């Protein structure tokens, strides 16, 4: 037996683990960067343009998948921001509907109250399902990747979307801590409203900032874990 071949086989698991780690780290760090950029664009995008902020996550994920050697075409990277922007808009609408019709909600006139955790969970869950479902379907259109049934795609997306709901709740709750750290950095670059003070930012802005960063980083991690088996099989096929 060729000693070089034997050495290669012995080190194959280490190579696989390192490749998987790089893939997970790439998507997770890209999600973190996407969350920070989304936060920085919140005020400059304006009231109506803010609904398109979800496209930032799609753009960053499209680039990361293109760089991860998954045969992810350029057109998919260009296309992905559209469904993620739509998913962001729908998740906001879903969270709003759940908040309005929440049976135990006590409305007080003239007073803003924080959203209920169930509304945040619903919005995060729906947004996560739409993003994971769209990416899974785009991956399935790549010839080198193994085919799975639509039922399998839906079930996996639904299961992993539970993390999207949990991340939505956690992200909002971290507003006074993580959110204010992000706000301070963005404020230093002049990308917040000129009249917004530290005290004002504690009300809603900080919660949105932490939500953007936590949800996008977490869902990028979830996406990498969900796609890991496909990437491994694709890599094995290319090697063969």
**pLDDT tens digits, one per residue of 193-240:** 889 999 989 988 999 999 999 999 999 999 999 988 877 665 555 554
Tokens of 15: 């190579």
DSSP element (H, E) containing 18: helix 12-41
| Nearest to 215, CA basis, from 163, 142, 137 | 163
| Nearest to 41, CA basis, from 78, 93, 85 | 85
Strands (E), the chain: none
**Maximum distance among all Cα pairs of the chain, rounded to whole angstroms:** 81
Structure confidence at residue 54 (pLDDT): 93
What are 153-187's pLDDT values in tens digits? 788 899 999 999 999 999 999 999 999 999 999 99
At residue 149 the predicted structure's pLDDT band, cuts being 50, 70 and 90, is low
In whole angstroms, give the CA distance from residue 154 to residue 134.
10
Q: What is the DSSP letter of 192?
A: S
What are 9-25's pLDDT values in tens digits? 445 578 788 888 999 99
What are 106-127's pLDDT values in tens digits? 555 455 577 889 999 999 999 9
């Amino acid at each position: 037996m060729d000693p070089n071949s034997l050495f290669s086989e012995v080190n194959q698991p280490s190579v696989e683990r390192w490749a998987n780690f790089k893939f997970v780290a790439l998507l997770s760090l890209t999600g973190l960067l996407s969350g920070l950029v989304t936060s920085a664009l919140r005020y400059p995008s304006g009231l109506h343009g803010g609904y398109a902020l979800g496209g930032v996550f799609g753009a960053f994920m499209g680039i990361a998948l293109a760089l991860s050697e998954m045969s992810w075409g350029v057109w998919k990277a260009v296309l992905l921001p559209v469904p993620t922007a739509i998913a962001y808009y729908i998740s906001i609408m879903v969270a709003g509907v759940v908040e309005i019709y929440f049976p135990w909600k006590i409305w007080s006139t003239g007073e803003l109250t924080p959203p209920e955790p169930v509304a945040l969970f619903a919005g995060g869950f729906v947004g996560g399902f739409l993003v994971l479902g769209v990416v899974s379907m785009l991956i399935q259109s790549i010839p080198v990747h193994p085919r799975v049934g639509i039922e399998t795609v839906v079930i996996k997306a639904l299961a992993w979307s539970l993390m999207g709901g949990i991340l939505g709740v956690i992200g909002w709750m971290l507003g006074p801590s993580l959110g204010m750290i992000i706000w301070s950095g963005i404020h230093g670059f002049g990308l917040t409203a000129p009249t917004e003070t530290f005290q004002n930012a504690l009300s809603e802005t900080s919660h949105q900032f932490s939500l953007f960063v936590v949800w996008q980083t977490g869902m990028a991690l979830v996406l990498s874990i969900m796609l890991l088996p496909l990437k491994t099989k694709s890599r094995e096929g290319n090697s063969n």
